[in-house]
Amino acid sequence: MGCRFCEGLRGVIDLIRPANCVSAGTGPAAAALAVGARPWTAAALFGSGFFAYAAGVALNDILDRKRDAVERPERPIPRGAVGVVAAVFVVALCATASLTFAALTSMKLILWYVLVLLLAAGYDALKKRPSFRY
């Protein structure tokens, strides 16, 4: 058995699926570089895309936790590596990080990211109809 902190950290890493987040960040960064943006702008867009995706997959796991307990028990929430409250905190932290990176590029971009985050959250909430019980 490893330390509890390490197990929790591993659970959070599994929850946000960082390999997928990298793909989500490269699109905005590559587009920025393609139109001649400065490297720091591309880096900020990468961070914003990375953390927006992380927030989305973590929220999806929260809303799918009952189904995942049956169909995907290896996922972090059903296996007990991350609690629901901690997962909600991860979603909030990742969404905040995404908006912070967006703010480094443009205030208009923040409005777009807020819209995207709200649409993603709304889609998940309406599609899955969560009970929000712990």
pLDDT tens, per residue, the chain with 134 residues: 568 888 889 999 999 999 999 999 999 899 999 999 999 999 999 999 999 999 989 998 998 899 999 999 999 999 999 999 999 999 999 999 998 998 998 888 788 878 877 887 777 777 765 555 54
What crossing angle do the helices spanning 84-103 and 107-128 adopt, rounded to 10°? 150
Spatial distance between the Cα atoms of 32 and 117, rounded to a whole number of angstroms: 20
pTM score, two decimals? 0.84
Beta-carbon neighbour count of residue 62 at 10 Å?
A: 22
